[in-house]
Amino acid sequence: MKHKNFIATSLIFLSIAPNLANAQKIESGIAKKDAVFFNYVNKYDNTGFIKNPVVWKAIANVVPSDLQKSVLPRLNVQPPIYYYDNFIIASGCKPHSCGSDEAEVWFDIGSKNAIIILLIDGNYSVYTKDYEWETLPLLIKAKLTDYEKLRPQPANIKVFKKDN
């Protein structure tokens, strides 16, 4: 009987653990007004996340207007949204086009700015307001390149830093 209780308690804890982790992050420096962004973490809701007015404004601030409508379709096939180092990250690809038509949205909870990564025809474009290649978060550079070849910037990756 003790084993059944232990298993039941473990299952309950595992089901609420992501929410506890989010609560701890919120209490440890994330403003309560920003807690709404954690509602997307561990969920398959790229559309809701991208259409959040604050997130969409961050995207529109860095992605050229002719490419803005191409962001959401590239997030159609999606893993869960996740949290990493003050960023809420949504990623995905077009159906039947993973590996050629992909996108990632890195939304910085603190600055309310975004880093947008688009893969179009095998070439990556990174749109940002705050970063150059050298200062991009290491996880982004690792995803875009072979980890050992992080410098210099690969020719098929273009970083577009939008001026204020």
Q: What is the pLDDT of residues 33-48, one digit of tens each?
A: 788 899 999 999 999 9
Q: What residues in the chain have per-residue pLDDT under 50?
A: 1-17, 19-24, 26-27, 148
Position 63 scores a pLDDT of 94
**C-alpha atoms less than 13 angstroms from C-alpha of 72 in its C-beta half-sphere:** 13
> DSSP characters for 30-76?
S-GGGGGGGGGTTS--HHHHHHSHHHHHHHHTTS-HHHHTTTGGGGS
Distance CA 75, CA 90 (A): 8
Distance CA 159, CA 153 (A): 9
Position 31 scores a pLDDT of 67
This prediction's pTM: 0.75
Cβ–Cβ under 8 Å, residues 92 and 103: yes
